[in-house]
Amino acid sequence: MSLLPEQIKAMEYLEQQGSRRSAAQIAERVAASFRAIEEFLEEVSETEARAHGLPGEWSIQEVVDHLVVTHEPSIVELRELLADESPAGGPIPAALQSPDPLAQRWPDLRAALKRVQGEAARVLRAAPDCPTEARAEVVMVINVTREDGSVEPVHWIEKLDWKAYGIVFRLHVLDHLNQAKKVLRAVRGA
C-alpha cells in the first residue's frame, strides 16, 4: 500500500522533530504545548466547555476528557519504551473517551488534565538521551484535503521509538487545542 503525501510528511516530521531531537528538546516542546492548552482552558467557563458549538465536533469538555484518558495510558507506554520494552496491549484507540465525558465538574477535569500532563512532562524531563530498540504502535490520524475541498481524516498504525512517541504528545495536544479554539469561537458566536 502506498502512502499519501500527507502521511509521508507526518512520518518525516516524527523523524526530524522526534527521533532526531535531543531528549531535552522533546521535553521542552511537549511542556510548551501543555502550557498552551492549560492557559487556553483557564479562560473557558464550565458552560462554554459543555456546549456543542459545531455539528459533529466534540465539546471542549469532551476534548479535555479525551486528552486525559489517552494521556494516562500513553505515559505507561512511554515508560515501557524508555525501559526498552515494547508495549503489548496494542495502540490506544484514536477516539478514546471516558464512559461519560460530561460527568465530571469542569474544574476537576481541568485539574486532571494538569496532573496527567505534569506526569508526562516529568517522565520526559527524566528521559535519558539515548535510543532504544523498543517500539509502540500508535494510531496516526491526519486530515487530508480531497480534490473537492472536503477534509477527511486518514488513520493508520505506525510503530514509533520513544522520541517520536514523546513528540506525539505535542502534536496531539496542539491538534486538540486548535479544535477547542474553533469550538469556543463557535460557542461565543465569533
What is the domain-level CATH number for residue 96?
1.20.120.450
User: Residue 125: its pLDDT value, please?
Assistant: 98
Percent of the chain whose pLDDT exceeds 70: 99
User: Residue 89: its pLDDT value, please?
Assistant: 87
> What average pLDDT score do residues 62-72 get?
98
Q: Which residues contact 105 (CB under 8 A, 6 or more apart)?
A: 46
Query: Rounded to a whole number, what is the distance in angstroms from the first to the last CA of the chain?
Result: 42
Q: How many domains does the chain have?
A: 1
User: Residue 190: its pLDDT value, please?
Assistant: 64
User: Residue 53: its pLDDT value, please?
Assistant: 87
Instruction: Indicate the angle between helix axes 5-14 and 162-187, nearest 10 degrees.
Output: 120
For 130-185, write each residue's pLDDT tens digit.
Answer: 989 999 999 999 888 888 988 888 999 999 999 999 999 999 999 999 999 999 99
Could you give the CA distance from residue 152 to residue 120 in angstroms, rounded to a whole number? 30
pTM score, two decimals? 0.94
The three-class DSSP label of residue 173 is helix
- 99: domain range? 5-187
Question: Do β-strands 136-145 and 151-160 pair in parallel, antiparallel, or remain unpaired?
Answer: antiparallel
Q: Would you state the cell numbers that stand for residue 164, as one nine-digit string?
A: 517520536
pLDDT-based confidence at residue 1 (cuts at 50, 70, 90):
low
Q: Helical H runs in 19-86?
A: 23-42, 46-50, 60-82
Number of neighbouring beta carbons within 10 Å of residue 100: 8
